[in-house]
Amino acid sequence: MLDLDETIANIKECKFVPEKDVEELCSKAIEILIEEGNIQHLDTPITMCGDIHGQLHDVLTLFQTGGQCPDTRYLFLGDFVDRGFYSVETFLLLMALKVRYPDRIYLIRGNHETRQITTVYGFYDECLRKYGSVNVWRYCCEVFDYISLGAVIGGDQGVFCIHGGLSPMINKIDQIKIINRKQEVPHEGAMCDLLWSDPEDVAGWSVSPRGAGYLFGINEVKKFNHTNNISLIARAHQLVMEGYKEMFDKQLVTVWSAPNYCYRCGNIASVLAIDDNLEREYKVFEAGTMDITSLPSKKPATDYFI
């Protein structure tokens, strides 16, 4: 039987988690995630986190900055794996916390929580290197398919949370609730857009240079927020050197939670705490000092974009 407290402590120390324990943990996580809707309706106060990309030591700093779970309730906006050297431990930690404290930590799927992306940008190779087979990667990818697509915090005039952005196919949040999320992220369509799109100073909808999703501007944001009676779109997906960036009359914010991204970008990171009055508090933090001799020799995969 899996001892969750011991497992959490071991993961934080980067100790090896046996494959059978990973399989059990993934199974328990799915049992919880399958009960959660495509859009989770969450109460305040809660703290939101952007991309963390396998940077385990920085995730530990994140918890020191925002408060330890379960004392602080968290919503992670996706991109838990790839690029960093500790994607396995990072995702196992989030899953273990979710199983241990299911109503104190929530997860949203990012564009990296897919089989195709993880085979290219590090997670697949890391699983193979650490376990000698792809079984752990398969278990984790199965979990990816059950993770929610978004959340609404605080009810009326609250916060809509998504990994990427908006879609020309989605006018109302209720439309997201009927998407079949238990699948590999498609290359196009509403589900793809929600995980891949970006805000930009453009008129209307524009083709995204990422090759998936769209670029959308202030008019689309204001229309979506008015239609759905929300005051803010909170998303991740894009590196922000200052840790967060508010746009479009503060009706949209990008939160980035991987400091010194890829161990070389030099950026700071942040988490966003939303209180009972829907007031925002950005808590910024820098990358912790790491013994570079302890880093794996394998470099992260080549960038396809930042």
Alpha helices in 47-201 (DSSP H): 56-66, 87-100, 115-120, 123-131, 135-144, 173-176, 190-196
Per-residue burial over 51-76, b if 16 or more Cβ lie within 10 Å, else e, is bbbbbbbbbbbbbebbbebeebbbbb
Give the H or E element holding residue 19. Answer: helix 19-33
**Which residue, among 185, 222, 187, has the nearest Cα to 108 in the 3D structure?**
185
For the chain, the straight-line distance linking the first and the last C-alpha, in angstroms and rounded, comes to 41
CA distance 254 to 10: 32
> Which residues are the active-site residues?
112
Which residues sit opposite 280 in a β-bridge? 274
CA distance 270 to 256: 6
β-strands 150-153, 158-162 pairing:
antiparallel
CA distance 215 to 198: 5
Angle value at C-alpha 228, between 222 and 234, nearest 5 degrees: 65
